[in-house]
Amino acid sequence: MATVTLKDVKKSFGETDVIHGISTEIADGEFIVIVGPSGCGKSTLLRMVAGLETVSSGDVEIGGERANDKEPMDRDIAMVFQNYALYPHMSVRQNMGYGLKIARLPKDEINAKVEEAARLLQLEALLDRKPKQLSGGQRQRVAMGRAIVRQPAVFLFDEPLSNLDAKLRVQMRLEIRELQAKLGITSLYVTHDQVEAMTMADRMIVMNGGIAEQIGTPLEVYETPRTLFAAQFIGSPAMNILDAEVKDGKVLLAGQQVADTSRTDRPVKLGIRPEHMDLDPNGPIRVAIQMTEPLGANTLLHGKITGFGDAFTVSMQGVHLLTEKNREMQFSVQPGKAHLFDPETGLRLEEAAKL
């Protein structure tokens, strides 16, 4: 087990900067999820920890030791990839034990480690099968087993569930999280799926364009997003963002008060999560509903704010069917659930005030 520390880590390809300086300390046994859209640099950051990409500047420390110049095999890490990378001509047993065989461990010790990992992953009955005889979920378990038998200090996961169907993804992310908690191994997990990030992470690193927009627990990022990007990327459906005026400490939308603030007297970006709206006949937010999405437990109402034309989404409990297109409904924001951002910096007003 080990800590992982990133000290102002940067990466450039020629004159193109792709990682713009990320610093954080990952505690021993912590599960960190690096989340963001395609091309944001999350896999590049993981590969720098693994030693598969060089660090342009800054330091990567594993177990308190600088790892920048260490080869991947000397970093005491194990990596699980999206494509499983199993040897098709080898059995499950041989795939899981191959790294130990290369390290010239005794055959009895290899078998013991493989069988223990197979027990943890419920693969005992599959040890003599070839990869082509396995389902996607079983192949992913084998890839994890190959990492587990090495007993590394750090696990690195690079979008390991992307090839699985939705139901299996839910099952596998629970299994990965339970297994990591049982083994207590420090883990970094890359995904573009914010639901995976919310459900699996002890803390998450929300990345955008090579920048860590926010580092915090899932609830911290959800409840107090630091930037407009973090606010809209985390949470499903996405947060509504509107242009609002501020006058005499009141946040106004179409002249109607929707929230209070004492932090600014300038226009702000107002963020409201769809699930934090209440149907209110006297509510200040008027929405012309254009489409509904009944999801069973709740219904998403999609429309535009009357007089503004801004797209707006509301999540309401239960089933609500659209009886008339462009039907106007009024809503109010639940107390304390409005998020205010500086329109120039994109920072939450509390963060912008620190600059």
Please, what is the average pLDDT of the chain? 91
The string of pLDDT tens digits covering residues 295-322 is 989 999 999 998 777 899 999 999 888 7
The contacts of residue 11 (CB under 8 Å, 6+ apart) are 17, 18, 19, 41, 44, 45, 48, 53, 54, 55, 56, 210
- Residue 241's closest CA among 327, 311, 335, 150? 311
Dist. CA 236–CA 25, nearest whole Å: 28
Report whether pLDDT(198) > 90: yes
CATH topology for 4-231?
Rossmann fold (3.40.50)
d(CA 304, CA 334): 19
Binned at pLDDT 50, 70 and 90, residue 29 comes out as: very high
- Structure token digits, residue 146: 């190959």
Q: What is the pLDDT of residue 313?
A: 96
User: 175 burial class (0-12, 13-18, 19+ CB within 10 angstroms)?
Assistant: middle
- Residue 138's H or E segment, with its range, is helix 136-148
Instruction: Provide the pLDDT confidence category of residue 157 given band limits of 50, 70 and 90.
Output: very high
Q: Read off the tokens for 207.
A: 């990345």
State residue 47's pLDDT score.
Answer: 95
d(CA 224, CA 234): 11
Chain position carrying tokens 């002890």: 202
Q: What letter does residue 125 receive in the DSSP assignment?
A: G
Helix %, strand %, coil % for the chain, to 5? 30, 35, 35
State mean pLDDT over 34-58.
Answer: 95
Model pLDDT, residue 289? 92
Q: What pLDDT does residue 134 have?
A: 92
Where does the pLDDT of residue 214 fall: very low under 50, low under 70, confident under 90, or very high at 90 and above? Answer: very high
Listed in order, the ranges of the chain carrying CATH 2.40.50.140 are: 237-352
The band of 136, judged by pLDDT with boundaries at 50, 70 and 90, is confident
The predicted structure's pLDDT at residue 309? 76
What's the pLDDT at 222?
A: 96
Of 128-137, 236-245, 303-312, give the lowest mean pLDDT range.
303-312
* pLDDT value at 89 more than 80: yes
What is the layout of strands, in order, in the sheet containing 16-26? 16-26, 4-13, 57-62, 65-66
CATH number of 237-352: 2.40.50.140
Give me the pLDDT at residue 249, please: 85
pLDDT band of residue 291 (cuts 50, 70, 90) is very high
Structure tokens at 180: 């990591």
What's the length of the chain?
355
